[in-house]
A and B are shown apart, each in its own frame.
Chain A
Amino acid sequence: MAETSERRSSPCGEDLALVRGVLGGDRSRLDLLAERLCCIPRILQVLNLRGGRQLGPEELDDLAQDVLVVAWRKLNEYEGLASLEGWAYGISVLEYQNAVRRRRRLLQEAQVIARRGERLDDAAHDPDPWAFEDVHEGLLRIGRDEARIIRLKHFEGRTFEEIASALELSPNTVKARYYRGIEELRPLLGARCGPTLGPLLEDEA
């Protein structure tokens, strides 16, 4: 029975077993986990390429180590609801954003000094590498249960029934929490997600 429950509550059961093994002190599984967590530098590389190579190789190297430390400390929070790569992606995105912000701030400070306090207007020329930063940060600011359901629904593509089964909740509870979560998220995403939908509604109405 326990096995059934385990299987039901963790769609990525093998990944969860790996993590639990390592957390339980099984050093023999550490290499396997390291192999899987090699996705962290790769994710950072992909993010950096998509974001216009804002960080250099050395910065990426250092950042990969930082993200690994964060992931290690959060390992006990891994629930097996997404693959290890999907889970590491969430951490990597936020850490990459922070690193880019830190780098920008340093550059701006250096430019201010170089221009002797001239006002900077770089924002207008700066490409927006993080079109969905508000989504990832918004999900951190709403209720944890609601965010988890939203992530499973949209990021993992699971149905409400699958989510209910994974979280051992009733489908109605999952739907209610999903609704509440979207309502909480709505003001956090602000103006970026409203105006384009007018015509859609008009079509429907």
Chain B
Amino acid sequence: MSVHGPQHEERLASLLSGERDAADPDCARWLAECAPCRERWTALRGTCERLEQAAAERRAHLAELRSVKSAPGEERIAAALRRLAEEEPPAQARSVQRIDRGSRRWLLAFAAAAVLAGVWIAARFRDRAPVPERTWLGSERLRLIAPVGDVHSFERFEWSYDGAATSYTLRVFEARGAEPGARLIEKERLKETTWTPAAEDLAKLPRSIVWEVEALDDYRVVQASGRESASLSR
């Protein structure tokens, strides 16, 4: 009976890469004698077999493409790509740096901590603290339509987003110049791209406001955000 150790790990690696053959008598004996190696080899082969099945499916799908003459949405691809190239220039796309998954996990953990900290701070300073300078995400896809600039009323808030958002968060602030002051209204989990304030909401609003919208995905991660200001015309 052999003892499972680092050498066995190397052997498993070489078996997996094909440098060794499991049918080789020496390998067969080793696998017969070392139960952990035997179990691992079974599992590793299972994983590879599953990958091969997935690869076969992928190949079959790609081969099937040749027989597809047209598909829904195909006629819009060229125009959509031209629009994307204009609205979201490649240089902007390039500026998104690649991050390896290890770093991404840290970033996600950091982002989660930052969100929690943000929630705590917001709870403490609700209605009081001025909102700090923000970086707007995907604002080229999220457009705040109304109210913007001088308007007759704040009776309808409207925006558009051409991405896939599950919900929106709308916040309305008292305006301090062009910057937001105290938060007056916050509406979360809005499903539509419009919001009509109730009478009591309208009563809270001063003559000049700053409002912002965040588009969120299934996991409540902000996909895009934007901000506008509006004033009631005299």
Contacts and interface: CB of A to CB of B under 8 A. Distances in A.
Interface of A: 22-25, 27, 30-31, 33-35, 37-47, 50, 57-58, 60-66, 68-69, 72-73, 75-77, 85-86, 89, 98, 102, 131-132, 135-136, 141-145, 150, 154-155, 157, 160, 175-176, 178-179, 182-183, 185-186, 189, 192-198, 200-201, 204-205
11 contacts: A25-B91, A34-B81, A42-B70, A42-B71, A45-B68, A61-B72, A76-B90, A132-B53, A160-B17, A182-B44, A204-B23
Nearest to B99: A144
Interface string B82-117: 101100111101101010111000000000000000
Contact of A154 (B23, B55, B73, B80): B55
Contact of A192 (B50, B57, B70, B81): B50
Contacts of B91: 25
Interface of B: 12-14, 16-17, 19, 22-23, 28, 31-32, 38, 41-55, 57-58, 61-62, 64-65, 68, 70-74, 76-78, 80-82, 84-85, 88-91, 93-94, 96, 98, 100-102, 162-164, 218
B62 A143 contact: no
B101 A68 contact: no
Nearest to A157: B55
Contact of B64 (A24, A46, A69, A141): A46
Nearest to A72: B84
Q: Which of A37, A60, A178, A201: most chain B CB closer than 10 A?
A: A201
B72 A198 contact: no
Nearest 6 interchain pairs by C-beta = A64-B73, A193-B46, A41-B71, A61-B73, A45-B71, A193-B50
Contacts of B28: 204-205
Contacts of A44: 71, 73
A85 B65 contact: yes
B197 to A, nearest CB: 27
A34 B84 contact: no
A68 to B, nearest CB: 5
A186 B49 CA distance: 11
A50 B96 CA distance: 34
A182 B77 contact: no
A79 to B, nearest CB: 10
A143 B74 contact: no
Nearest to B95: A76
Nearest to A62: B73
Given A37-B77, A197-B45, 5 more contacts: A22-B85, A45-B72, A64-B74, A64-B76, A186-B44
Q: Which of A33, A46, A200: most chain B CB closer than 10 A?
A: A46
Nearest to B30: A205
A45 to B, nearest CB: 4
A192 B96 CA distance: 36
Given A25-B90, A25-B91, A65-B76, A194 B46 contact: yes
Given A143-B101, A179-B12, A68 B77 contact: yes
Contacts of A63: 73
Nearest to B94: A76
Nearest to B97: A76
A20 to B, nearest CB: 10
A72 B80 CA distance: 10
A76 B77 contact: no
A187 to B, nearest CB: 9
A158 B51 CA distance: 14
Contact of B73 (A65, A73, A102, A205): A65
Nearest to A22: B90
Contacts of A154: 48, 51-52, 54-55
